[in-house]
Structure 1
């Protein structure tokens, strides 16, 4: 080093003499201008630095970064649901980190750490010299690196001049502010807790768990050197994918520790011969018992915090929600149990013997849609060759099958009176499938949509006791097209009341009611009750639930039915507090909105008890022993693609959906694919356990506000439903039940629907 310094001094002296001669040769005006220019350059840099100060993080921001208090999401009964953190990390104090880590860090990254105030001018000058000699080296101190880790957006990332100069100046300013705000030990603690280590691991604690399956205080010198060595380039020195590079870098760190007196020289040779011995396990972020609910709220809460001058990740906000942790736990268990049951069915239905194999057209289509196939084609492989290679790859087909045949579910419970969301399960496993099947997924609701058809009829004056003939139905669509809805078996050709038609989920009866009421009116009723985000196609088959909707919309709509036609916007948050318990904002529930005739809603609600008592959902009473006052509806879509069940109680409305992310995959079983077997068990177990634990009052009863024996006057703006219904049976019995020219056929007919459609309950 001394020789290098003498050499540099000699070169500098020669350069100075040459510049002095050149300066003396210049004319006096040019010398004066050059002198002023040289003096002006540092002044300009200083002025520019002063201008940048307001554009760097403030002292308060820097202090918050260390004291980082993530917002807490709390249940209505005071239990922690989730924390909103910057990243997947667990903060540990410096005394909970192995001294080997600290020694390796200081020896390798900043051996004069305790001697400078954020900027090491000697190291900066040395890095410039090495860079000019073709050996690029970093000159940033630990404090400067911490500034970049904490405030990457404020400081910037550009390496192109002049943006790079601005970045380095901001970095230096922020480093000085950090040194003024923190002690040296606090800087080390904050640095080690914020540095990224790949695989969604931030901070030394998560890194220790990820690469060595131990806590940070248990790291030995080899493990510490390996992790600190990664800081030069986490991907390049990744010990999982690049073990040889990682070991070489680890040995360099060990040498630096010896050089700086942090390790005895006699240990070095033996330690450098030791293997890495990585014990890798990817760490998953703990999201709590209601992860989908927490994720749905995150964006809304960030916007609230920004608009009110708070930081969701650092200011210790406390968000009080409507979720009941007891009901959430019951819902999680019900979804988990039924999901396992259905997965066994799906695995059998899609086994190698039952259609999952290279010869299946669906499997070939799924392979062509895979990322592996696209990558192979993008690299120049012929499409057919790429397809055949993947079809011959047993491991790939097994992986594809596991992804596609994974049964999914959604579950939501809501108080119909207050609108409070009580439980929210977006999928069977958030880590495997973070997609939310409550609010984000739109699926055909099947027969759970039928109550809107009957509700529209009751609002027009129809009665549950009115009858229609359960016979084959043909509804003309115009242009020679005909819709022929059918049920699972042949029609009985006998009269059936509207109440039984709904309880037994008869498509033939529902289609006739839809024909008279009209798709536009049914869609209007559904929107008013709560299906307000999804587009509804106003076609006759809408009666059988062919327009995709969300589970959240359907539970909201059923809540309006239970609440006698009064819609209440779902409520997720009740109030937000600061870290000291001071209430910052209260979120009062919106006033109930009368959106549907109360008498008709009461009639519909009471009629829907039939599905539970003697219809498609009798398992609620026979299997789960629920004797509470409940009403509901099952739903099953074409080819058993989607299974639904929604249950109404005076204090809770519960809905569940079961199916697959890919609509082309089904349970392939008329037995298990029905909503009564796929979705109902989740709701049944939930209600059974909720009543048994007395979280839900099993003695609560619906209260009738009207005497349903006296029918309300029909809507004068439309034809009278009851007259039409009775008129059907005064006509010639040989005449088709739905003649093409009968009055009341809606003129607003949407695009063609399949000539025969089976979507039922």
Structure 2
């Protein structure tokens, strides 16, 4: 799904490999678990928006239960199921997609109902009551999942300075005489502050530079483009996601089976399931850039809004100060 950030215009999509076989559009109709892609839009961006943390804030990635009043303690595990990383910055936690750090971050904001404050505003249409205060939402445990369109549209919101522009396909309908009977008019909704959106985008740049999506960077034909994105996988390797934005557009790819089969089982494959999805994303971006280089390969970078400062911090004292600072710290 390829979307223009500022307007929500759906530039193109791939609905599957064979419509005649499935008669189903996987880009707009399939509801899938979002996996770790949710960390950007529901964990870290809202936590920054609420002033709970910033990219340099240390998060405890340790083997202790995560507790929230009124819920049973959760004991999350990282992807490798046995390793913990200690005190890590929020920036590193997102770039490397640490699950435990995401859980602890979400546990600090869950009582503010971030699902309602953020996902509802971005038209995640299949949310149910149990999603709103479920701590496992930190890792994408939406009961009914989300479509590629919904998930990609949410990342476009971060790239659009925190303003959601609903995805659309029909620009205008006219009669044969030229009378306009319908014309799409974008109505942007502010979801995140510009500062929170930019800082989350800046953190997601590291996903490509040293995080979980470094595989795709050497394959990009236009390496100077300012991309920021997030990978995602789900339990039992049923889904693989990659969604990334540049200042103009956002593109998301998902691969999986209709029957929820294991993507990791691929005898003879030279790439992992995540690498196969990243390669798909890269080949589509390279092809689209040849068609419209001005749109797909902008020379400008994401613009940093006012109100952001760069400072060296002490990880220990930052933890202490954050207990007392109740206003946004960008």
Q: TM-score range by the shorter chain?
A: 0.7 to 0.9
- Deviation of the 1:630 alpha carbon: 0.7
Match of 2:149 among 543, 546, 552: 552
Match of 1:613 among 209, 216, 221: 209
**Secondary structure at the residue paired with 1:646?**
strand
User: Could you tell me whether the CA contact under 8 Å between 1:666 and 1:673 is conserved in 2?
Assistant: no
- Deviation of the 1:591 alpha carbon: 2.8
- Over 3 Å counting, the alpha-carbon distance change for 1:673 and 1:470 in structure 2 is farther
Q: Quick one: distance in 2 between partners of 1:480 and 1:703? A: 40
* 1:415 aligned residue: 4
Q: Quick one: distance in 2 between partners of 1:591 and 1:542? A: 28
- Deviation of the 1:694 alpha carbon: 3.8
Within a 5 Å distance, the mapping from 1:341-352 to structure 2 comes to: none
- Deviation of the 1:447 alpha carbon: 0.2
Higher relative contact order, structure no. (Cα contacts within 8 Å, ≥ 6 residues apart): 2
Q: Quick one: distance in 1 between partners of 2:85 and 2:150? A: 35
User: Could you tell me whether the CA contact under 8 Å between 2:94 and 2:207 is conserved in 1?
Assistant: yes
Cα root mean square deviation, aligned? 2.9
Report which stretch shifted further, 679-688 or 445-454.
Answer: 679-688
* 2:93 aligned residue: 501
User: Could you tell me whether the CA contact under 8 Å between 1:467 and 1:496 is conserved in 2?
Assistant: yes
* 2:233 aligned residue: 636
**Secondary structure at the residue paired with 1:482?**
coil
Give the unaligned 5+ runs of structure 2.
324-330
User: Could you tell me whether the CA contact under 8 Å between 1:635 and 1:675 is conserved in 2?
Assistant: no
- Deviation of the 1:472 alpha carbon: 1.6
Give the unaligned 5+ runs of structure 1.
1-411, 712-721, 731-761
Match of 1:584 among 147, 171, 180: 180
Q: Quick one: distance in 2 between partners of 1:467 and 1:676? A: 28
Match of 1:727 among 320, 323, 328: 320
- Over 3 Å counting, the alpha-carbon distance change for 1:477 and 1:469 in structure 2 is closer
* 1:697 aligned residue: 297
- Over 3 Å counting, the alpha-carbon distance change for 1:517 and 1:672 in structure 2 is farther
* 2:76 aligned residue: 485
Match of 1:474 among 59, 62, 65: 65
- Deviation of the 1:432 alpha carbon: 0.9
* 1:257 aligned residue: none
* 1:510 aligned residue: 102
* 1:656 aligned residue: 253
* 1:717 aligned residue: none
User: Could you tell me whether the CA contact under 8 Å between 2:46 and 2:192 is conserved in 1?
Assistant: no
Q: Quick one: distance in 2 between partners of 1:567 and 1:728? A: 32
Q: Quick one: distance in 1 between partners of 2:308 and 2:231? A: 25
1:56-106 deviation per Cα after TM superposition (whole angstroms, max 9, x unaligned)? xxxxxxxxxxxxxxxxxxxxxxxxxxxxxxxxxxxxxxxxxxxxxxxxxxx
User: Could you tell me whether the CA contact under 8 Å between 2:63 and 2:84 is conserved in 1?
Assistant: no
TM-score, with structure 2 as normaliser: 0.84
Q: Quick one: distance in 1 between partners of 2:55 and 2:71? A: 33
- Over 3 Å counting, the alpha-carbon distance change for 1:501 and 1:519 in structure 2 is farther
Within a 5 Å distance, the mapping from 1:345-384 to structure 2 comes to: none
* 2:286 aligned residue: 688
Give the number of equivalent residue pairs.
307
Q: Quick one: distance in 2 between partners of 1:673 and 1:484? A: 31
Match of 2:56 among 457, 465, 470: 465
Q: Quick one: distance in 2 between partners of 1:672 and 1:658? A: 17
**Secondary structure at the residue paired with 1:679?**
helix
Q: Quick one: distance in 2 between partners of 1:579 and 1:727? A: 68
User: Could you tell me whether the CA contact under 8 Å between 1:414 and 1:423 is conserved in 2?
Assistant: yes
User: Could you tell me whether the CA contact under 8 Å between 1:642 and 1:659 is conserved in 2?
Assistant: yes
User: Could you tell me whether the CA contact under 8 Å between 1:643 and 1:674 is conserved in 2?
Assistant: no
Q: Quick one: distance in 1 between partners of 2:291 and 2:248? A: 15
- Deviation of the 1:673 alpha carbon: 9.3
Q: Quick one: distance in 1 between partners of 2:317 and 2:124? A: 31
